[in-house]
Amino acid sequence: MNQIVFIELINPFKDKVFRLAKRLLTSTEEAEDATQEVIVKLWNKKEDLNHYNNVEALAMTMTKNYCLDQLKSKRAGNLKIVHDNYTDRAPQLDKKLEDSNSLEWVEKIISQLPEQLQILIQLRDVEQYEFDEIAKIVNMNETAIRVALSRARKKIRESMLNTHQYGIK
């Protein structure tokens, strides 16, 4: 397999890998590092790729595992990056008002879900994978995925309702 064939193979799902990494790692730079890592790993075992009938699912699984490892190692080292840590309060309040009108709230709400649910939301609601494909990626059965997904969606709805009605009731 040469470089051109390989790039044609990964191009359809390269961005999906990136978006899944970004969902879990938050920062764009780290997500790009993760994407690169996954693609280089695939490149290194390019000779074996023929044995896998679904390289995309393999790539997504690798991404998921890599990101979870990253998160784990960061937590172990107490290195979790807290973003707006150093900004002062006034602009944050402005930002909050602005956010409430935009889609960023949804992002915040999703980022507070457990990682497993974030992965499912990303795979199903953003990337629109079929349940059998998701089952291969996360190694769960379809019923469990449906149940978890329903839980995640309801949680998002609940948090959004709370945000919307904040100060009214």
Partner 1 sequence: MELNNIENIIEKYFQGETSIAEEKQLKDYFSSSNVAQHLKQYQPMFGYFSQVKEQKSTQEIPLQTKKRNVAWLSIAASVAVLLAAGTFFYVSEKNTTPVVAQSELGTYDNPEEALEATQKALALLSNNVNVGIESVQYIKEYEQSKNKIFKQ
Hey, which residues between 27 and 56 contact partner 1 (CB under 8 A)? Answer: 31-32, 35-36, 39-40, 43-44
Shortest distance in whole angstroms from residue 16 CB to partner 1: 9
How far apart, in whole angstroms, are the C-alpha atoms of residue 123 and residue 130? 9
Hey, which residues between 93 and 122 contact partner 1 (CB under 8 A)? Answer: 102-103, 105-107
**Residue 115 and residue 69 in contact, taking contact as beta carbons nearer than 8 Å:** no
User: H/E/C letters for each residue in 13-76?
Assistant: HHHHHHHHHHHHHCCHHHHHHHHHHHHHHHHHCHHHHHHCCCHHHHHHHHHHHHHHHHHHHHHH
- Residue holding tokens 């992002």? 107
Q: Does 6 bind partner 1 (CB under 8 A)?
A: yes
Shortest distance in whole angstroms from residue 59 CB to partner 1: 12
Q: Does 135 bind partner 1 (CB under 8 A)?
A: no
Shortest distance in whole angstroms from residue 39 CB to partner 1: 5
How is residue 114 annotated by DSSP? -
Select the residue interacting with partner 1 from 45, 72, 96, 154 (CB under 8 A).
154
Q: Does 69 bind partner 1 (CB under 8 A)?
A: no
Q: Evaluate the CA torsion angle 135, 144, 150, 71 in order and state its sign.
A: negative
User: Of 43 and 71, which CB lies nearer to partner 1 in the complex structure?
Assistant: 43
**Residue 19 and residue 126 in contact, taking contact as beta carbons nearer than 8 Å:** yes
Shortest distance in whole angstroms from residue 6 CB to partner 1: 7
Point out which residues bind partner 1 (CB under 8 A).
3, 6-7, 14-15, 17-19, 22, 31-32, 35-36, 39-40, 43-44, 102-103, 105-107, 124-128, 130, 145-150, 153-154, 156-157, 160-161, 164
